[in-house]
Amino acid sequence: MKTIFKFRCAAAVIVTVSLVSAAQGCRSKPRGSAASPASRSQPAAFGQGDTAESRAAFLAAYKVLMHPRCMNCHPAGDVPLQGEDSHLHLQNVKRGPDGKGLYALKCSNCHQLKNLPGENMPPGHPEWHLPPADMPMVFEGRSPAQLARQLKDPKQNGGKTLEEIIRHVSEDSLVLTGWNPGDGRTKPPLTHGEFAQKMREWADKGAAIPE
């Protein structure tokens, strides 16, 4: 017997990225040396080793953050994304103010407590939803520098300290769904343990911005 769900990806709508982050670009430039652009390629005078390692750790973690298993719930618009190609969610699903769906089209109508078996079936989790409309935590389209700044900024990260961000990526059960994605879906390029360790290393070595 066939299940009641019959969801096929009709057309892969590639999401065009709309960048809304222009305002974030120029906040922190702590060591303002003389304004000559030519001096920008000079290496930093001190803290270089740790800063380089911190940046490298973030760049490794970034590959996970931007993987479809994570980015599909951290879209630039008000529609979740689906699939390996991160196309817009079918069935006209929208974020809604609380991230749980608009009007009668709630995430939990289709996303059950656990993954449903079979390809193209909805992944499950008791709290499956997007970040809320007033704090959308967008990953899609963010460069490494933009995303690193955003994750450090309590005004954009849900009021979290850096330590709370590290704990979130280490323990949160929605994050963990990335490694239990349901039949037919790829997992992020690092194990969860490796990813959490890279985020920890990024923070411990100064949470550098990889420009």
Q: Which residues bind ligand HEC (CB under 6 A)?
A: 7, 9, 64-65, 68-70, 72-74, 80-83, 89, 91, 93, 95, 99, 101, 105, 107, 109-111, 120, 122-123, 128-131, 137, 150-151, 157-158, 165, 168-169, 174-175, 177-178, 181, 185, 188
Of 49 and 97, which CB lies nearer to ligand HEC in the complex structure? 97
CB of 92 to ligand HEC, least distance (A): 9
What are the distances in angstroms from CA 168 to CA 61, 63, 80, 105, 190?
Answer: 14, 17, 21, 28, 17
CB of 25 to ligand HEC, least distance (A): 17
CB of 23 to ligand HEC, least distance (A): 16
Of 64 and 203, which CB lies nearer to ligand HEC in the complex structure? 64
Of 73 and 207, which CB lies nearer to ligand HEC in the complex structure? 73
CB of 72 to ligand HEC, least distance (A): 4
Of 56 and 108, which CB lies nearer to ligand HEC in the complex structure? 108
Of 36 and 134, which CB lies nearer to ligand HEC in the complex structure? 134
CB of 163 to ligand HEC, least distance (A): 12
